Amino acid sequence: MMNQRASGILLHPTSLPGKYGIGSLGKAAFNFIDFLAKAKQQFWQILPLGPTGYGDSPYQCYSAHAGNPDLIDLDLLVSNHLLTPEELAALPHFQDGPIDYDLVQKARLPLLYKAFNTFTSHASDLDKLAYRNFLKSHAAWLNDYALFRAIKEDSGNKPWYTWEKELKTRDPGALKHAESRLAEQTDFHKFLQFIFLKQWMSVKEYAKKHKVRIIGDIPLYISMDCSDAWADPQEFEFDQDLMPIRVGGVPPDYFSETGQLWGNPLFRWDVMKTNNYRWWMDRIRTSLMLYDVIRIDHFRGFAAYWAVPYGEKTAINGAWIPGPGKEFFVALKNELGDLPIIAEDLGVMTPDVEDLRDSFGLPGMKILEFAFDSSEANDYIPYNYTRNCIVYTGTHDNDTVVGWFRQASEADRRQVLDYIGKEVNDIHWSFVRLAWSSVANTAIVPMQDLLGLDSDARMNLPGTTGGNWKWRAKETDFPAELANALSALTSLYGRARKSKIKPK
C-alpha cells in the first residue's frame, strides 16, 4: 500500500477550522479532502482519534477503541433533526485561534445530551435499527467503555484505580448495580460513539471517493486511566491491588539525563501470547476499520521496551525487556492479512528493531529537521534514504520548520543552505521540495509547515503538559493557489496518482 510514490498532509481533525471552537467531522473535514484532491495528495494523516483524557492529549485516551466526542459535528446534528438551529445559536461565540478545551466541552455537553434525548424519544425505526446493530457489533469494547465513563463521571472524574474496591475490581454485584443506577449516563456514552462513528465513516467514505487514504495513529501504550486497563487488567503488569508493577518510558539519552518516565502500564506479553494476542488483534481490527494505514507510535517497544519500577521519580532505574518480536507480527499477519503499518522508528534504533521492521517490509520514518545536525552525520539526510520509508518535514512533536530554522545554530542553518544550494526566504517550501524530491516512497508535510507558520503553531512540546494540541487552521488557510502550487510540485516529483491508460 505504501510502495508507490505518493504524498500527503498531516492535520488532526481538531485543527480544522469552524465556528464552534474546535475542528469537527463536518463541512470543514469534507472541504479539506477537496483541498487534498485538488493538490493531488493521496494521504491524509491524523493523530489518534480516541476520547482524550489528561492534558487533552490524543496519546492519553480513555479507550483504545472509542472515538472522541469533541469531534462530533453539531451542524450535522441539526441536519439529522437531533438539534435545532436555535439551540446552536445559543452557544457562546468562539474566537478563531487555539482551542479552549474546557470552554468547548462545557458548551457542547448540554447540546449532546439534548441530541441524545431527542434520538431516544424520536428516532426513526431505521435509525433505531442502525443503533441496535452498532451496539451489537461493538459490544466487546463499547459496554465496558460506556460504563467506565459513567462511573468515572459519577465519582467526580477520579481515575478508576482510586474507585471504591468493588468497582475498581469489577465485582459482578457492584457492576450490575452501577449498570442499573447509571443506565442513562451509560446509554449517553454509547450514543455518542454511535454518532461519532457514523460521522467519521462518512468522512472516510468521502476520502475514499476522492482517492485519499487516511493514515491513523496507534500509541503503543494505553493510558493508565482508561477503560481497557480497567476492563482487562490481566493483560497488564498490575499487582494484586491493580497498581502497576512497572511502567513505560525511555532511558537517559542525549536529550535527557533522566530519560522520559511516561507512566503507562506495560503489557503482559506472556499472557497475551496464550490467547493469540486477542487484545491487540481487536485493537488492530478497530484501527483498520477507522483508517487505511496505521502508524504505530514507539514501534521499538515490540523488539524491546524500557521498564521502570512503579514509584520511581525518573526513568533512570529501568531495564530493557525483550518484546514479543517477530512472533507477534506473524500472528497478526496470519489473523488479519497484509499489514498496512508504518513503524515509528525515530531515535537511536538497535539492530533488532531494524530487523523486526525490515522482516515485515514496514516503512520507517525520516524527519528532515533531524537531518541537519552539523555535529554528526545521520540517517535522516535525504541521500541516505531507502525507498521504503516515509519522509516528513516535521511531526506533531517537532517545532514547525520555520520555528526550528530560526532557532537552529548558525552551523546548522548553514548546513541547510549548503544542502539546498541557495539562500532562501521560504525555508518551509524548500523543506517540502526536499521531501517531495527525495527517493522516499511517501512524503508528508504538517499543515503548519505547508503554511509556513512559526513556533506559535507548534502542536506539541514533549515533556510539557500545558498549551499543547490547541492549534487550529483558519478558513482562509486552504486557498486554491496553495493547492495548485502543491499540485504542481507533486506532479513534478512523480507523486501524483498516475492515470490508468485505457487500452486502444
| Residues belonging to the active site | 297, 344, 397
Strand ranges of the sheet holding 319-322, from the earlier edge strand across to the other edge: 260-265, 246-250, 304-309, 319-322
Residue 83 contacts residue 114 (beta carbons within 8 Å): yes
d(CA 479, CA 37): 13
Residue 138 contacts residue 64 (beta carbons within 8 Å): no
Residue 96 contacts residue 472 (beta carbons within 8 Å): yes
Residue with cell 452498532: 134
26 residue type, one letter: G
Contact partners, residue 60, CB within 8 Å, separation at least 6: 52, 53, 54, 223
Nearest to 63 by CA among 268, 236, 222: 222
CA 447, 450, 452: angle at the middle one, nearest 5? Answer: 110
Residue 459 contacts residue 447 (beta carbons within 8 Å): no
DSSP secondary structure string for all residues of 86-149:
HHHHTSPPPPSSS--HHHHHHHHHHHHHHHHHHHHHH--HHHHHHHHHHHHHTHHHHHHHHHHH
Contact partners, residue 343, CB within 8 Å, separation at least 6: 296, 299, 357, 362, 363, 364, 365
Cell of 479: 486557498
475 residue type, one letter: E
Residue with cell 468515572: 152
Nearest to 398 by CA among 450, 348, 448, 442: 448
Instruction: Give the largest CA-CA distance in the chain.
Output: 74
d(CA 85, CA 122): 17
Q: Which helix (H) or strand (E) holds 230?
A: helix 227-231
